[in-house]
Amino acid sequence: MALKIILKPFERMIFGGAVVTNGSTRCELFIETNIPILREKDIMTEEQADSPLKRLYLVIQLMYVDEKNLVAYHSTYWQLVQEIVIAAPSFLDLIDQTSEHILNGEYYQALKLARKMIDHEQEVIKNALQRTGNL
């Protein structure tokens, strides 16, 4: 069964490592092979990866779309995981779940968990800033 994707005008996506930008009208696509696909809202750039968990998300994203460089991305992933767990042990459970997906080659599922961790990280930062009066 094909995956149906509807793109908004000028929406960008990653299809199997290639960045594709839609034209000026809505577009309906049917993907009939199993390739990595990320919508623009799920794509993180290096500039946006300005926190430890955003950098972790970026590395997982690269694993998902750039299979040729998995060894380097895995190395970076485990290094980031170690730093995150030392700095914020409260993330250990989600890190463990994410790592299980990484070890099984389930990068999209790992991305979903990484997104949850980013949301939690942002909440922790917001709360810390409120406590210190810097918000």
pLDDT at 135 over 80: no
Q: What percent of the chain has pLDDT over 90?
A: 74
Residues 1-13 have a mean pLDDT of: 90
Domain spans in the chain, listed from the N-terminal domain onward: 3-40, 52-132
**Higher per-residue pLDDT: 70 or 34:** 70
CA separation for the pair 54, 29 (Å, rounded) = 29
Tens-place pLDDT, residues 94-113 = 999 999 999 999 999 999 99
Q: What is the pTM of this model?
A: 0.88
